[in-house]
Amino acid sequence: MEHQFVTDLQSNQNIVHKVCTLYTNDKDSHNDLFQEITIQLWKAYPKFRGEAKFSTWMYRVALNTAITLYRKSKRSIPTLDYDSVIFKIKADEYDETEEEQLKLMYKAIKQLGDIDKALVFLYLEDKDYREISETLGISEVNARVKMNRVKTKLRTILNP
Amino acid sequence: MMDELELLKKDWQKKDNHIPQLSYSDIHKMTWKKSSSIVKWILIISILEFTLPHLLYLIPSFQENMNIYETIGIKKYFHAVTLIQYLVVFYFIYQFYKRYKEISVLENAKILMQKIIKTRKTVKNYVIFSLSMILFTVLLLIIGIYLNDDFANSISELNNKATDMSPEKLKIALMIGIGAFGILLTLFMGAIYFLLYGRLLRKLNNNYRKLKELEI
């Protein structure tokens, strides 16, 4: 069972890395959160019966750990300095305006609250409103309304 | 804006090929590490809260102090109170264990938060109960001293030291002293408790409030 779990997690680890990047501000915290999510996933693994996809199941556990269970080991000031591939923009792939927009967007997302981050994360991962509402425990309508609000918030940050 | 968000989504999904990957053994090692989640912390702090006050009875000087209840004639009341207290403590432990077991990371975010808050509420009620018991015991002591006319004589040792005080005055001084000590102890323990949990659960409470706000 352990071998199966580690193999499954290894091939789906990007989900956890992305959650960690959103919710932490430095490399140590990133690794710390990654470890806590791994522990929680492993603890819950016996209850995973393969009814859902392993990745779908991971989203819930990873977000629950980041939002609720994880205790920040130390105070860290939000910066974008930490060397995370996720927030790095490959300049040669975009024109100057796009590059600037992306940079601002990622910076803006980092400033959002934990719940808003979860909404944006699930949106970026192409999850539909049903899945978003089931993960967070809110109604689909509220998920939609809230997502629109977050979009407006991001818009205000981008175009002050 | 839609275009900007679509651009972001495209960029986000492209990252997958670039994220540094952990090896099998890195992940395998992590599964053996101990969790440091707030649920774990609530469990540890709660166990301390349930056991520490009871360990006091193991200290010899504390046992000797128990004789004071006999001296002032409230021993049988004290025994009755202790019995009730233990029954209530076991009830709290049972409740706590039941709720703690219900916490599952597989719930949706809102239910998970609700269950943690509910579990903590059990501990909170327990602490309020314990603090009330301290105050009640102190009150019992004060009443005992007040009703016992031979009190000053029965603790002759104290009386010898305070020769310049009349028995009546000594009695009042003791009552005030014990009362003040009881109130200070309660306030002190209450403050530590609320600071501890306030810090531990600040993030959870904030996020829960935000989720609740979505319902409006």
Q: Is residue B70 a contact partner of residue B150, using CB atoms and an 8 Å limit?
A: no
**pLDDT value of residue B53:** 67
Residue B13, token pair as written in the block: 């999904």
B170: confidence class by pLDDT, cuts 50, 70, 90 = confident
Quote the CA–CA distance of B116 and A65 in Å, as a whole number: 13
Eight-state DSSP code of residue A77: -
**pLDDT value of residue A19:** 92
Give the predicted TM-score (pTM) of the model: 0.80
From the CA of B125, how many Å to the nearest CA of chain A?
22
From the CA of B20, how many Å to the nearest CA of chain A?
8
Nearest C-alpha neighbor of B142 from the set B185, B183, B181, B179: B179
| Structural domain boundaries in chain B | 39-56+63-214
From the CA of A49, how many Å to the nearest CA of chain B?
12
Which candidate from A71, A101, A137 shows the least CB-CB separation from B41?
A: A71
CB contact under 8 A, B19 and A70: no
Write the CATH number of the domain with boundaries A1-88. Answer: 1.10.1740.10
B25: confidence class by pLDDT, cuts 50, 70, 90 = confident
Q: What is the ipTM of this complex?
A: 0.82
Question: CA angle B166-B171-B176, nearest 5°?
Answer: 125
Q: Is residue B4 a contact partner of residue A99, using CB atoms and an 8 Å limit?
A: no
- Residue B173 makes CB contacts below 8 A (sequence gap 6+) with B165
Which candidate from B18, B41, B104 shows the least CB-CB separation from A85?
A: B18
Q: Is residue A39 a contact partner of residue A127, using CB atoms and an 8 Å limit?
A: no
**pLDDT value of residue B194:** 81
Indicate if the pLDDT at residue A63 is higher than 90.
yes
CATH 1.10.1740.10, chain A: domain bounds: 1-88
From the CA of B91, how many Å to the nearest CA of chain A?
26
Chain B residue numbers with beta carbons less than 8 Å from the beta carbon of A98 are 7
CB contact under 8 A, B27 and A126: no
Indicate if the pLDDT at residue B34 is higher than 50.
yes
CATH 1.10.10.10, chain A: domain bounds: 95-160
Chain B residue numbers with beta carbons less than 8 Å from the beta carbon of A14 are 15-16, 19
Which chain A residues in 50-89 lie under 8 Å from chain B, judged by CB atoms?
57, 60-61, 63-65, 67-73, 85-86, 88-89
CB contact under 8 A, A44 and B38: no
Quote the CA–CA distance of A159 and A118 in Å, as a whole number: 23
Percentage of residues in chain A with pLDDT exceeding 90?
A: 23
Chain B residue numbers with beta carbons less than 8 Å from the beta carbon of A151 are 1, 5
List pLDDT tens digits, range A102-118: 888 888 888 888 899 99
Chain B residue numbers with beta carbons less than 8 Å from the beta carbon of A139 are 215
User: According to DSSP H, which parts of chain A are helical?
Assistant: 2-11, 13-23, 27-44, 54-64, 96-110, 114-124, 129-136, 140-158
Nearest C-alpha neighbor of A135 from the set A10, A19, A29: A19
CATH ID of A95-160, from 1.10.10.10, 3.60.60.10, 3.40.250.10, 2.40.110.10: 1.10.10.10
**pLDDT value of residue B1:** 47
From the CA of A72, how many Å to the nearest CA of chain B?
9
List pLDDT tens digits, range B72-90: 666 777 778 778 888 888 8
CB contact under 8 A, A6 and B28: yes
From the CA of A41, how many Å to the nearest CA of chain B?
8
Nearest C-alpha neighbor of A148 from the set A113, A123, A111: A123
Indicate if the pLDDT at residue A37 is higher than 90.
yes
Sign of CA dihedral B152, B155, B159, B160: positive
A64: confidence class by pLDDT, cuts 50, 70, 90 = very high
Chain B residue numbers with beta carbons less than 8 Å from the beta carbon of A137 are 107-112, 211
A2 touches chain B (CB under 8 A): yes
Question: How far is residue B39 from each of residues A65, A67, B46, B95, measured CA to CA in Å?
Answer: 11, 13, 10, 15
For residues B20-38, one letter each, b for 16 or more C-beta atoms within 10 angstroms of the residue's C-beta and e for the rest, the string is eebeeebbbebbeeebebb
Chain B residue numbers with beta carbons less than 8 Å from the beta carbon of A142 are 214-215
Task: Report the chain A residue with the minimal C-alpha distance to residue B42.
Answer: A69
Nearest C-alpha neighbor of B112 from the set A39, A115, A53, A69: A69
CB contact under 8 A, B35 and A42: no
**pLDDT value of residue B211:** 84
Q: Which of A25-39, A44-58, A130-144, B22-36 has the lowest mean pLDDT?
A: A44-58
> Phi and psi for B165 in degrees, rounded to 5?
-110, 135
